[in-house]
Chain A
């Protein structure tokens, strides 16, 4: 039995076998072969194996996703059997080239040919050729490829990290949880796990080395523990824990249809954060009062070109329709920093978090921004849309973004499109400069949403993903709390509404502080909604408010935490 400790990022307990996602080593050497016949046979054998594999994937995909989505694998089979490609490879082998090298030469040639076509759709087929030739190469080298499309039983994914495009492939029917070597509470994979409501442990440092593919695993996402090859006693202990967890979850379900009220009847909104239109279901299932943050960048990721206005319009429309008139805050494209779009070909930067990202890109590459705004405006007719701009640092940025939005609104209206008349335009508060002059911004905006993940990083000048400085990611740091209070006060003074869409909004220690400060909306992963509603129902805002001044005078994050534990939690 082996026990590994990591960072608990998504609650729950899962039992399944390890599925290790490792990048296969597909390096090879170009060598001269003497037995051409044997080399040709080796190549043919690899083709046959790949064919069997693709056929199997095709059948699984057809069953899981339907014929249309499975068609991609049928096309892969045709690429594999392509007479021109096979003949070209075999001709090269005939000259004494080894099969790996011949395959690589020919597929590279075809890829270059497709990339040269003046047609984005055809250029995208490059991915198909690459996929097929990688599979054949793996068979030639005798390397086993991991393939999440082929999952047919429950697994717990073990990976160094999960990229957003990899997470898009996760099928929760079989993926019962995941474990990563790197990452923290607020890394994208952690947020995604909470969205999917599957347990996850990150930051284990070397789980990928310690855990064998196929090993039986118990994943305790509540305490950050991983047990490999558990004894039967340990196993039954965790079965019991799993039972308790499920029971607790059942209990929380009573809050699903209740309004979000504090013990003394103060009404707030508890909303959900989403990345994809499909995520809305989890928010509505949890009884969320709205969407506090729709991270639109996921519409742009894992593809080769920008999404069109129509594609985006359909996505936004479906979210608004599903929310049935409940407020839905959509954040415009927040790319750069730790989220890249290879097809935008942005230059690598020394300090990406302080660089060309989010609204800075939107205001510079306005053609991208305008397409998104038009799609949003067109969708606004289908629900209660609120648009907010990310990473606003100066008043000029906000004014410019809003002016572009209004210009597109006018354009659409003169083209005869219906656009909502009650469209709110707000901004994220995630840069200290914006938090400090919130009183100036408050005159211009309809609402604020405090993005604590970045605000904390920028206030303490510490990258939350850098393990050496992650101790500085301190949500309760007095500077962070003072900035938040300043923003809330400025908003109240001007009769504006203020929410929070960072991870802090669901933090049990932060909750009484934020409620006392007068935050209107708390937006979080869908899985935290019910727990937060239950928690707030026990807190009295009137009793919390007198503590505000004292909290703001505390010197350190730990003093704040202690104060909350000793004085505020006991108020409930």
Chain B
């Protein structure tokens, strides 16, 4: 499963939104990746996500494979929208 999001936080995907995302996806069993500028990182890794240096208005792709992927996408989408991190593309 894959989904594109546009990051809308003014500072980009910095520590606080990255921490929210990582915390939200960590309990899921499935593997989850965040792809930005053709580079994929583990979305369960705060270091990986932050090291991407994702600027505001960037488009990122989140992909997940595994038994609870669907549930994960529901959680992630809700979080991204409700916390003002970004919007679905």
1/0 per residue B31-74: CB within 8 Å of A?
00000000001101111101101010000000000000000000
| Beta-carbon contact of A121 and B46 below 8 Å | no
| Beta-carbon contact of A71 and B16 below 8 Å | yes
Kindly state whether residue B11 has any CB partner on chain A within 8 Å.
yes
| Beta-carbon contact of B53 and A117 below 8 Å | yes
| Beta-carbon contact of B14 and A122 below 8 Å | yes
Kindly state whether residue A75 has any CB partner on chain B within 8 Å.
yes
Contacts of B41 in A (CB 8 A): 84
Contacts of A117 in B (CB 8 A): 51, 53
| Beta-carbon contact of A78 and B19 below 8 Å | yes
Which residue on chain B has the smallest CB distance to residue A86? Answer: B45
- Cα of A84 to Cα of B42 in the assembled complex, Å: 8
Given contacts A117-B51, A118-B53, contact A75 B14 (CB under 8 A): no
Instruction: Give the one of B42, B48, B53 with max A CB within 10 A.
Output: B53
| Beta-carbon contact of B47 and A84 below 8 Å | yes
Kindly state whether residue A119 has any CB partner on chain B within 8 Å.
yes
Kindly state whether residue A83 has any CB partner on chain B within 8 Å.
yes
Kindly state whether residue A82 has any CB partner on chain B within 8 Å.
yes
**Shortest Cβ gap from B54 to chain A (Å):** 9
Given contacts A83-B42, A119-B55, A121-B11, contact A110 B47 (CB under 8 A): yes
Kindly state whether residue A113 has any CB partner on chain B within 8 Å.
yes
| Beta-carbon contact of B15 and A75 below 8 Å | yes
Kindly state whether residue A114 has any CB partner on chain B within 8 Å.
yes
| Beta-carbon contact of B55 and A83 below 8 Å | no
Kindly state whether residue B79 has any CB partner on chain A within 8 Å.
no
Kindly state whether residue A460 has any CB partner on chain B within 8 Å.
no
Kindly state whether residue B22 has any CB partner on chain A within 8 Å.
yes
| Beta-carbon contact of A74 and B19 below 8 Å | yes
- Cα of A63 to Cα of B16 in the assembled complex, Å: 19
Contacts of A81 in B (CB 8 A): 26
Contacts of B86 in A (CB 8 A): none
Contacts of B50 in A (CB 8 A): 114, 122, 125
**Shortest Cβ gap from B55 to chain A (Å):** 7
| Beta-carbon contact of A110 and B46 below 8 Å | no
Kindly state whether residue A85 has any CB partner on chain B within 8 Å.
yes
| Beta-carbon contact of B45 and A121 below 8 Å | no
- Cα of A74 to Cα of B19 in the assembled complex, Å: 8
- Cα of A128 to Cα of B19 in the assembled complex, Å: 13
The answer, among A75, A83, A125, for a CB contact under 8 Å with B44, is A83
**Shortest Cβ gap from A125 to chain B (Å):** 6
CB neighbors of B among A100-138 (8 A): 110, 113-114, 117-119, 121-122, 125, 128-129
**Shortest Cβ gap from B16 to chain A (Å):** 6
Kindly state whether residue A315 has any CB partner on chain B within 8 Å.
no
Count of chain A residues near B, Cβ 8 A: 21
- Cα of A449 to Cα of B44 in the assembled complex, Å: 57
**Shortest Cβ gap from A73 to chain B (Å):** 11
Kindly state whether residue A545 has any CB partner on chain B within 8 Å.
no
Kindly state whether residue A79 has any CB partner on chain B within 8 Å.
yes
- Cα of A118 to Cα of B15 in the assembled complex, Å: 15
Given contacts A75-B19, A119-B12, A125-B15, contact A110 B51 (CB under 8 A): yes
Which residue on chain A has the smallest CB distance to residue B15? Answer: A75
1/0 per residue A75-96: CB within 8 Å of B?
1001101111100000000000
Kindly state whether residue B23 has any CB partner on chain A within 8 Å.
yes
- Cα of A258 to Cα of B13 in the assembled complex, Å: 55
1/0 per residue B7-29: CB within 8 Å of A?
00001101110010011001000
The answer, among A78, A85, A110, A129, for a CB contact under 8 Å with B22, is A78
- Cα of A113 to Cα of B45 in the assembled complex, Å: 14
Which residue on chain A has the smallest CB distance to residue B47? Answer: A82
| Beta-carbon contact of A119 and B16 below 8 Å | no
Contacts of B44 in A (CB 8 A): 83
1/0 per residue A59-72: CB within 8 Å of B?
00000000000010
A-B contact pairs, 20 of them (CB 8 A): A71-B16, A75-B15, A75-B19, A78-B22, A78-B46, A79-B46, A81-B26, A82-B45, A82-B48, A83-B44, A84-B45, A85-B47, A114-B50, A121-B11, A121-B12, A121-B14, A122-B14, A122-B50, A122-B53, A125-B50
10 cross-chain pairs, A with B, having the tightest CB-CB distances, nearest first: A84-B45, A78-B46, A117-B53, A82-B47, A119-B53, A84-B48, A82-B45, A122-B53, A75-B19, A75-B15
- CB within 8 Å of A: which residues of B? 11-12, 14-16, 19, 22-23, 26, 41-42, 44-48, 50-51, 53, 55
Known: A74-B19, A84-B41, A119-B12. 9 other contacts (CB 8 A): A75-B46, A82-B46, A82-B48, A83-B42, A84-B47, A113-B51, A117-B53, A119-B53, A122-B53
